[in-house]
Amino acid sequence: MNTAKRLVLLALLSTSACNLAVMTSVSPASDPPEPLSTPSSLPSAETFTAPLATLTPPSTLTPTFTPFPTETQVPTPTPLPTVESLKARVVVDKLSCRYGPGALYLYLFALNGGANIKLIGRTDGNNWVLVENSPYQCWVNAKFLEIQGDPKSLPAVYPGFKLIVSPYYPGPSWANATRNGNSVEIWWEPVPISPGKFADENMQQYLVEVWRCENGEIIFETLGTNYPAIKVENDEPGCSRPSHGRVYLQEKHGYGGPVEIPWPPHD
């Protein structure tokens, strides 16, 4: 190697050595960060054990049976034992005794006030009772009597009891009826009688017997007229037995008929 090249190489080596010395003597701009202190041991986390919820099964609901309301049972009245007869006393001055169970039937005779009499029957539907006054039997209104016992214990003999028969006139041969609500119109075959066959001025030529329904009970009543038609004002529904009726001709010697009324039912 020649001398010039050696000088150049020495100069380069010298410059590098100086630069290394300078770099070694310079302090760092900032201290290196201290390492994080690592604790020797971390405290163990406290263990929390949540109590298990106790599940209570829902109570089983037992259905309660509520019975449907029932109708109140109405006690059935105990029927009275039937008796053959009852004793009674007349409590008015004069009491008409008639051929049939009502004020429109023909008059037979009068019972005196205070008379003791024997009752042997009753009607089914009003308060008239049958008197045994041998050789006759006739009807009186029980409200004018003092009766020893219950008149409803007497046997019901009407209808069934036979009225005296007219030797002169038959009864009507037909009858008809129509209904309008609770009212019933009735008409029948006319049967003329002579004026001399009337017992008195109050006698009715036709006698209509009606068994009609009122407040759940059958009511018996007699209606009189001198014309071959009449109207029953109140015949209600709701009775255990059907309503019915019949028509007699009436004259002073007795009765013609009867003819049954074809009673119209409720719609």
Residue pLDDT, tens place only, 151-182? 999 999 999 999 999 999 999 999 999 999 99
Give the whole-angstrom CA distance, residue 10 versus residue 135. 190
Give the whole-angstrom CA distance, residue 224 versus residue 204. 5
Q: Using the predicted structure, report yes or no on whether residue 27 has a pLDDT greater than 80.
A: no
- pLDDT, residue 176, reads 99
Residues linked to residue 100 through DSSP beta bridges, in sequence order: none
Task: Record the pTM.
Answer: 0.71
Tell me the pLDDT tens digit for each residue of 40-58.
443 444 444 444 444 455 5
Work out the widest C-alpha separation in the chain, in whole angstroms.
201
CA dist 140 → 80, 126, 243, 265 (Å): 22, 11, 24, 32
In the structure, what pLDDT confidence band is assigned to residue 32 with cuts at 50, 70 and 90? very low
Domain residue ranges in the chain: 86-158, 175-260
- pLDDT, residue 70, reads 58
In the structure, what pLDDT confidence band is assigned to residue 218 with cuts at 50, 70 and 90? very high
Q: Phi and psi of 180, rounded to 5°? A: -135, 95
Residue 227 CA, distance from chain mean position: 42
Residues linked to residue 206 through DSSP beta bridges, in sequence order: 225, 249
CA dist 62 → 56, 59, 65, 68, 128 (Å): 17, 9, 9, 18, 63
Give the whole-angstrom CA distance, residue 221 versus residue 102. 8
Long-range contacts of 25-30 (CB under 8 A, 24+ apart): none
Output DSSP code: residue 32. Answer: P
User: 114: which 2 tokens?
Assistant: 């205070």
Q: Using the predicted structure, report yes or no on whether residue 10 has a pLDDT greater than 60.
A: no
Question: What's the first-to-final CA gap in the chain, in angstroms?
Answer: 155
Bridge pairing between strands 217-225 and 229-232? unpaired
Tell me the pLDDT tens digit for each residue of 65-105.
555 555 556 556 677 789 999 999 999 999 999 999 999 99
User: 252: which 2 tokens?
Assistant: 């002073």
Residues 6+ away with beta carbon under 8 Å from 111: 90, 94, 95, 97, 117, 131, 133, 140
Report the topology of domain 175-260: Immunoglobulin-like (2.60.40)
In the structure, what pLDDT confidence band is assigned to residue 229 with cuts at 50, 70 and 90? very high
- The answer to whether domain 86-158 has CATH 2.30.30.40 is yes
Question: Does this chain's domain 86-158 share its CATH topology with 175-260?
Answer: no
Give the whole-angstrom CA distance, residue 50 versus residue 178. 92
* Mean pLDDT for all residues in the chain: 82
Q: Using the predicted structure, report yes or no on whether residue 185 has a pLDDT greater than 60.
A: yes
| Angle ∠(191,109,211) on CA atoms, nearest 5 | 50
Give the whole-angstrom CA distance, residue 117 versus residue 85. 10
Give the whole-angstrom CA distance, residue 134 versus residue 117. 11
